[in-house]
Amino acid sequence: MEDRAPPVFAFGIIADIQYADIEDGLNYLRTRKRFYRNSLQLLRNATRRWEEQRVRCVLQLGDIIDGFNKSSSASEQALHTVIGEFDKSSADVHHVWGNHEFYNFCRETLLASPLNSAAKAGSGSDLLANDIYAY
């Protein structure tokens, strides 16, 4: 067996969680079944694996909650639920905004939310003044 140096840095990536507290359904084209609530369990599985691997940073690449949350006025609660799962991880989580973020929230709301990774990283108000939403 070959001796290997431990990794210098490990990070996780996740995208398209699209959580909603609704019954399973079909995608927009009605060609695939969607398991909206189960996405939370998949996130828990990923978080557990990241902890096992001592991941230091996670990139969440957008669509953290599903657009269906908007029509039932559940966007804030759904986001709170998913962020709560990320908060259980010891890794720093950085978010990119996808189209489902914009289906659910306006830009100003996103800038003031836990999804604003620029503010979380201590980048300061200069970036907020320039109205950036991802990095």
Class of domain 11-105: alpha beta
Shortest CA distance to 100 belongs to which of 12, 20, 13, 40?
20
5-30 confidence digits (pLDDT tens): 888 889 999 999 999 999 999 988 99
Mean per-residue pLDDT of the chain: 89
113-126: average pLDDT: 73
**Tokens coding 18:** 């699209």
3-state helix, strand, coil in the chain (%, to 5): 40, 15, 50
Furthest-apart CA pair in the chain: how many Å?
Answer: 56
Contact 117, 94 (CB under 8 A): yes
